[in-house]
Every structure is written in structure tokens, then in C-alpha cells.
Structure 1
Amino acid sequence: MGRLSTHVLDTANGKPAGGVVIVLYRLEGDGSRTILVETRTNADGRTDGPLLTGDAFICGRYELVFAIGDYFRAQGAALPEPAFLDEVPIRFGIAEPDGHYHVPLLASPWGCTTYRGS
């Protein structure tokens, strides 16, 4: 059975990023977005369960939006206004109906990266 998961690492402080708000959207063919999940990372920087699994896990295009600016503000980081990174969107496709798609975010106030993990 396919599933989608994520986690967030605070690379500026070398720790998991707990408390990051994440919104998952399905991207529609007409360019609109539909909210599927809104959640927050736990102390380990992970969500408490998969973002998509079972019948909800279908092939298509998706977007994860991470509220990373709010996270770093809460950590006491001195961010400019506007912050260099505030909401970080990651658009990706799911093409394998039985695959495990893990989309982590590694972030600092000044940069971020992602990859398809396991």
C-alpha cells in the first residue's frame, strides 16, 4: 500500500524541527489546489502518521507547504522582514500507486533542500 510521509530538520541548529505547520494540497488540472491535510510536526520533526495512505493515496500532483519562517521566529531567530524563507512550497508528483514517497525538508533561515527519501 502506498503512503506519503515527511519530516523537517532544522539544519541551522542541528535538530529536528518540531512544531512546523505543514499543509498538503492536491494540484488539480485547472491549476487550483485542494487542501487534503493540515498538520504540525512533533518533537522528532515528523508528523504523527502518514500524510496520505490507503484510498487517499492516489497518483497525481501535490504540494507540501511548510511554515518554516514561523518556526524560526518561534526559535528566536532574528529574521528580516520579510523573511528570506517564510512558506516553503514543494511540488512533486506521485506516479507509483504502491510506492512510499517520503519528502523531507532540511531548512535554515537562509536555505533549504529536499529529496525523495525512504
Structure 2
Amino acid sequence: MKKKILIVDDDPRNIFALKLTLKSKGYDVRSSLSGDEAITMLKDEPDIKVILMDMMMPDMDGYQTMKNIRKTEPINNSIIIAVTAQAMPEDREKCLEAGADDYVTKPINVDTLLNTIEKLS
């Protein structure tokens, strides 16, 4: 059974590129353009195993979205990988404190991302 991954990013170009890469590696990929939409999708599709969460989004950013996911049954145990252009050590800590299981930086190194997905799921 393919792992189902949700990409949450307000930029459709980022979603398109990531989706192509992940599908080519055999993953079942969904996407969402906002935090609110992501939470709804997670409730509707409980078999989504991994969330790739962009941190910088309008309205509800990735930090707030992760906090909301962690407070919401039954989706609070989802695996969340923060995806951000912010690469300082304190940015990683901020992501982990908000609820991320791990963190990858943009531009995304595909091998690093795939290793992180496999390690966590």
C-alpha cells in the first residue's frame, strides 16, 4: 500500500514540483493551498500518513496549522515535516516546538526529504 502524503503550500508551483517528484517515487499525494483546507482534508482522509507543511502561508501559517492539528483528534498523531526557507537553528527549534516531527529546508534536497519521510513513517 502506498503511503499517502499531504503537501500544504500556498504556492501551486511548489506543490506541482513536489507532487511530481513524490508520485514518481510511488507515493499517493494530495495537496492543499491553506491550513484550514489541510485540516479539513486530514479529517476526511484519515489514511494520510505524512504532511509536508510550508511554514510561510497567508491567513493561518504553518506554525498555527501544526498547533491546530496537534490539538485535533483524530489527526493529532499525523507525521508533520516542516518545509521552510528559514535555515537557522532557531527556526528548526521553532518548527519542532509548534508540532513538527522533523524539518527540511528549501530548496528541497529530494534525497533528504525522501529519507526523512521513510525514517518517520
TM-score with structure 1 setting the length:
0.28
Q: Relative contact order, CA 8 A, sep 6+: which one is greater?
A: 1
The structure number with the bigger radius of gyration is 1
